[in-house]
């Protein structure tokens, strides 16, 4: 069941664009990006949840959220690890994380502790 939708935007000079959906499953919530998803690339990018829309990497709670609320890495090609990532991608948000307690998915560089982009979402009315 579709529970939320959102739109990505880049931060810190990175390009992140496209849309995403959150779909409830028995084992958690599946985040699926749109076919037109685009990320310009970075070392070790990964997804996490946040309780508000992050403004900058300087927010000290972002790194903590990335560690405790992270739910998947955005895997580039092993041949070109810092290249663009395009097209539909999925990541499972485990059932231990309740998406209704958060407002935003963010893309974090785990290598350099840097905010790459955000994806605020709106929960669907049931």
- In this structure, are residues 34 and 87 in contact, taking their beta carbons and an 8 Å threshold? no
Grouping H, G, I as helix, E, B as strand and the rest as coil, residue 36 is coil
Q: Which residues contact 24 (CB under 8 A, 6 or more apart)?
A: 1, 2, 3
Fold of the domain built from segment(s) 2-123: Immunoglobulin-like (2.60.40)
Taking the complete model, does pTM exceed 0.85, yes or no?
yes
Residue ranges of domains in the chain: 2-123
Residues 41-68, mean pLDDT to the nearest whole number: 93
Tell me, rounded to whole angstroms, the distance of Cα 115 from its chain centroid. Answer: 11
Task: Kindly report, residue by residue over 84-120, the tens digit of the pLDDT.
Answer: 899 999 999 999 999 999 999 999 999 999 999 999 9
Per the CB < 8 A criterion, the answer to whether 8 and 17 are in contact is yes
Q: Could you tell me the two tokens for 12? A: 């810190």
């Amino acid at each position: 069941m579709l529970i939320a939708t959102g739109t990505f935007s880049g931060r810190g000079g990175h390009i992140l664009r496209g849309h995403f959906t959150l779909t409830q499953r028995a084992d958690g919530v599946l985040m699926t990006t749109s076919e037109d998803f685009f990320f310009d690339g970075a070392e070790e990018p990964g997804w996490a949840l946040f309780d508000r829309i992050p403004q900058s990497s300087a927010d000290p709670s972002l790194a903590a959220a990335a560690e405790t609320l992270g739910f998947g890495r955005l895997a580039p090609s092993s041949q070109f690890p810092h290249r663009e990532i395009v097209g539909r991608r999925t990541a499972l948000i485990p059932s231990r994380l309740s998406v209704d307690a958060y407002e935003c998915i963010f893309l974090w560089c785990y290598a350099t502790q840097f905010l790459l982009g955000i994806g605020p979402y709106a929960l669907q009315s049931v």
